[in-house]
Structure 1
């Protein structure tokens, strides 16, 4: 998970406006599930997307959902139409989402987040109740165990 933490560190240092969501957020809250990627919900303004690109400089980011693994080459113009980015980098996968099912837009997600210290750096993470809501809304079989664990963690913390 060191490479994933290093990606988050780069995002924080580049002042990317994001909230950590998905599997890594669940692990951070105490889930024993494993994850191989980072999922963030972020501001999809050109300015913020260009910060993401700068944060990933040197990691050879490519669009994961394209046939030929097209390199990430954002400009103010071509970034305006984007709603999500699914990237592969030398250090792992990064999924950048403009909204989260069950929660809504980035601003709504941000309102349901909290600041944590992760490997010595502050970042926003989806609160456990919101993470449960999002995972339930996706209703994927792979999330069932994570939801059970998150609910148990939530009960222990109240």
Structure 2
């Protein structure tokens, strides 16, 4: 299953979320590969209940990079979300990271305000804007984020150049 199938299922269940991280970067033009779907979710109880349902259907379990978490008992419920602001999970579909805050942006409402809607197959989803992605990568400060910033800033510069040229052509008409 692809990331697209995951967010399509989330969207069909009316889960409120914003795609952040690598998948959002790809939606904004990045050529980098990503191995998980990162989302910032609305922590309202009704939304968490929908997430719990989906994650249990997907057989979600803790993801530990070195494999030491395999087989650890883990229960996905509202308490898990309340006690864990960041969940890094492996599912039968793909890996997914769920956050209630994004560095440099803020909570779900702030992410929502810093996002744009895109059409992905049969559904429309929210992804962080390019400028918000750049802001979040700067704030996170991890080495891999700093490396990714180079590409994202280049994409931003190219988009600005295209917009300027388009504006010039439009004025000439």
SS of residue paired to 1:60:
coil
- Among 48, 73, 94, the alignment partner of 1:70 is 73
Contact 1:53–1:72 (CA under 8 A) maintained in structure 2: no
Larger radius of gyration: 2
| Unpaired stretches in structure 2, ≥5 consecutive residues | 161-173
- Written as runs of structure 1 = structure 2, the 5 A alignment for 1:52-131 is 52-64=51-63, 67=69, 68-75=71-78, 79-131=81-133
Query: Please, what TM-score do these two structures have when normalized by structure 1?
Result: 0.88
Structure holding more helix per residue: 2
Measure the CA separation in 2 of the matches of 1:14 and 1:132: 30
Please report how far the alpha carbon of residue 40 of structure 1 lies from its aligned counterpart in structure 2 after TM superposition. 0.4
Query: Please, what TM-score do these two structures have when normalized by structure 2?
Result: 0.81
CA change 1:145–1:78 in 2 (3 A) is: closer
Please report how far the alpha carbon of residue 82 of structure 1 lies from its aligned counterpart in structure 2 after TM superposition. 3.8
Q: Please tell me the root mean square deviation across aligned C-alpha atoms, in Å.
A: 1.9
SS of residue paired to 2:83:
coil
Count of aligned positions: 156
Measure the CA separation in 2 of the matches of 1:86 and 1:78: 12
